[in-house]
Amino acid sequence: MDVREYVVILKNAFTYIRSVDGFLIKIGSIVYELENQCRNGSCDPMEVFKRIIFDRELEENLSRFACYKEEIYNAIMGDPRHKILRRYITVLMERLNSLKCVEEKPIETLTPPSTWFKESHEPILIPRKERGRISNIGFMWKIEKMDLEYLIKILLIASIILFIISLILMLTR
């Protein structure tokens, strides 16, 4: 299996990646692709990964991340998003330990808050078809997910119906 393609992809990615998390996500995507390609037993993904990560062309780019070995190790072992890298951690750590730490620009070591956390604190937009759904809870009727516009429309229609009924009752007397 030719590793040149993956070396070029990683080299280009490492020039713009500015965080440990970004580094691990990129490495994880390469590992995931290798495992898919080697699924039929034509190759060993561990050996291919080792050839990629130990390529001389990546030395300069990987040396930035050699300064953050502990953070990388903790992220792989603690974050479920990087679970796929746990099988490859010895190879990755071996490579980072073999490099001299050259920090040109500081790298973000903290993982940014996840999207689901932000979404849980934002107001929930209600799709139009779900507005005004009525559910029966015991003896109480509960109107869920009402907005002001929908409530005004219901009140207007109810008042028109009551007006027509009262008009009919007055004319029949």
- The pLDDT value given to residue 139: 43
Q: Which residues pair with 134 in a beta bridge?
A: 143
Residue 116 located in a structural domain = no
Ramachandran quadrant class, 156 (left: phi over 0; alpha: psi -120 to 50; beta: rest): alpha
Question: Tens digit of pLDDT for each residue in 47-94?
Answer: 999 999 999 999 988 888 888 899 999 999 988 889 999 999 999 999
DSSP code, position 102: -
Token digits of residue 83 = 């679970």
Residue 114 located in a structural domain = no
Residue 20 located in a structural domain = yes
Least confident segment among 15-24, 40-49, 86-95, 108-117:
108-117
- pTM, entire model: 0.61
**Residue numbers of the domain that contains 133:** 128-171
Same structural domain, 16 and 44: yes
Q: Where are the alpha helices (DSSP H) in the chain?
A: 4-16, 20-37, 45-53, 59-63, 69-78, 89-97, 115-121, 148-171
Look at the chain and report how many structural domains it folds into: 2
Question: Tens digit of pLDDT for each residue in 122-166?
Answer: 455 545 554 455 555 544 444 555 577 888 889 999 999 999 999
Residue with tokens 């929930």: 124
Residue 119 located in a structural domain = no
